[in-house]
Amino acid sequence: MPELPPKREMIQRLAQKVGGSFRLSTLLQKRVRDLVNGAPPLVDAQGKSPLDIAFQEVELGLLRLVFRADEDKGPKVVAKKDE
């Protein structure tokens, strides 16, 4: 198997960590939106984009995706320390 570029390797590793590429995509999209709307970052954010912050938070295991009983609202991103 050919060697993957570092960013692609990271994405594959994170997808495995959270349960698949759909979950990773959803988690990142929702977390970036939260950050853009003013949610405080869970890591040092100095000079980083919201996407880079979200990637780091996922990599450190600081977030999880919670599926709600109310299907209309969809999944929610929750900081593990807030559980």
DSSP for 28-75, written as a single string: HHHHHHHHHTTPPPSS--TT--HHHHHHHHHHTT-EEEE--S-TTT--
Q: How confident is the model at residue 66 (pLDDT cuts 50, 70, 90)?
A: confident
Q: H or E segment at 12? A: helix 6-18
Q: H or E segment at 77? A: strand 76-79
Q: How confident is the model at residue 76 (pLDDT cuts 50, 70, 90)?
A: confident
- CA dist 57 and 4 (Å) reads 22
Q: How confident is the model at residue 83 (pLDDT cuts 50, 70, 90)?
A: very low
Q: What CATH code would you report for 6-82?
A: 3.90.940
Reported as a single tens digit per residue, the pLDDT across 8-47 is 888 999 999 999 999 999 999 999 999 999 999 999 999 9
- The residue extents of the domains of the chain are 6-82
